[in-house]
Amino acid sequence: MRVTLVRRAAATAIYFRSRSPVLSGRDGRVELRDIEIFLTLAEELHFGRTAERLRVSQARVSQSIKQQERRIGGALFERTSRSVRLTPLGERLRDRLRTGYGEIMSGIDEAAAAARGQAGTLTVGTMATQYQAIAAVLDLFRQRHPQCELRLREILPTDPLGALRAGRVDIGLLWLPIREPDLVVGPVLHTEKLVLAVACDHRLAGRDSVEMEDLGDYPVAFPDGPIPDYVWEAHTPAVTPAGRPIRRGLGVATLEEAFRATASGSVISPIGSDAAATRRRGDITFLPITDGPTLRYAPVWRSDAETPLVRAFVQAAADAQKTT
């Protein structure tokens, strides 16, 4: 991107030198500041206001215009004691310079923004509707980096690391723990409790709540994907608090598959409370798990792909947490 911006600015400058006889003058050189002074005076038509706007002395403005007129060989402004106005030569120069100058300054601004990590594209992956839980972080990042395109993609809970390692997302909002040598974990941004999804005609459906011990009595949906065992253990342990094994029922790859299997009555399914709140169904009941684990979510990124934009997002996440 930086190479493209530099080439764009350079090409515009070459265009000025080669195609504008007014700008080429006798020595072929015009300082960018002098162009800015000329265009500002052409807009203000007042030496004092031009000097104030550019924060230079009025003498500097007058000197610049005189130098340009000597270089070009003709008057650019008609001056009287009461007014300043462009000559036909000045109008021609203004029209030729205005677009090109704006293009050069835009190129410089974009290059500087890219160097500061404020431009480009940042892709953030979340599970289901978890992006809603970090809305304050997303808003703060967008406010600070309006030139960055922020994209959101869904990450499968059964394959939380795949999108990161494949480069499909730059940052993933994942539940902890994440203990991978190639990944970096940021600050915790969100927490949620587990609830138990059961079919409406299931024997547990009439209860107000359940306990983790109840999971030892029924087959439980398990992830059919490359999720590390230790990550899933934080979600659904292998045994109940009393040490009874929690039986694996049907393997599911997506949340929708888990819901379908649950609605059929073949399994029960612990899921995050946020997903439950946004997926109300007539064939499933969601029960609080009184002693269930708390899921903690944090931004995770590849250590070899840490960019200024990634660091900017993590900083926005940390700052947003301070205000909540």
Residue 198: the pLDDT is: 96
Beta strands in 16-147 (DSSP E): 77-79, 84-86, 120-126
Query: CA-to-CA distance for 168 and 124, rounded, in angstroms?
Result: 9
Average pLDDT over residues 66-90: 92
pLDDT in tens, 124-167: 999 877 888 889 999 999 998 888 899 999 999 999 999 999 99
Residue found under tokens 């944090």: 298
pLDDT band at 110 (very low <50, low <70, confident <90, very high): low
| Burial track 63-74 (b if 16+ CB lie within 10 A, e otherwise) | ebbeebbebbee
Question: b/e string for 220-251 if b means 16 or more Cβ within 10 A?
Answer: bbbbebebeeebbeebbbeebeeeeebeebbe
Mean pLDDT of 85-113: 84
Averaged pLDDT score across all residues of the chain: 86
Supply the pLDDT for residue 178.
96
pLDDT value at 2 more than 80: no
Q: What is the reported pTM?
A: 0.64
Model confidence band, residue 113 (pLDDT cutoffs 50, 70, 90): low
**How far, rounded to the nearest angstrom, does the alpha carbon of residue 306 sit from its chain's CA centroid?**
14
pLDDT band at 1 (very low <50, low <70, confident <90, very high): very low
Burial bucket for residue 285 (CB in 10 Å: 0-12, 13-18, 19+): buried
Determine the average pLDDT of the residues in 35-41. Answer: 93
Q: Which of 58-62, 108-112, 181-185, 318-322 has the lowest mean pLDDT?
A: 108-112
Distance (Å) of CA 34 to CA 30, 37, 129, 183: 7, 5, 53, 50
Q: Which of 13-22, 57-66, 190-199, 259-268 has the lowest mean pLDDT?
A: 13-22
**What stretches of 162-258 adopt beta strand conformation (E)?**
171-175, 183-185, 190-199, 220-223, 248-252
Instruction: Rank 20-24, 96-100, 224-228 by mean pLDDT and report only the highest.
Output: 224-228
pLDDT category of residue 7 using cuts at 50, 70 and 90: very low
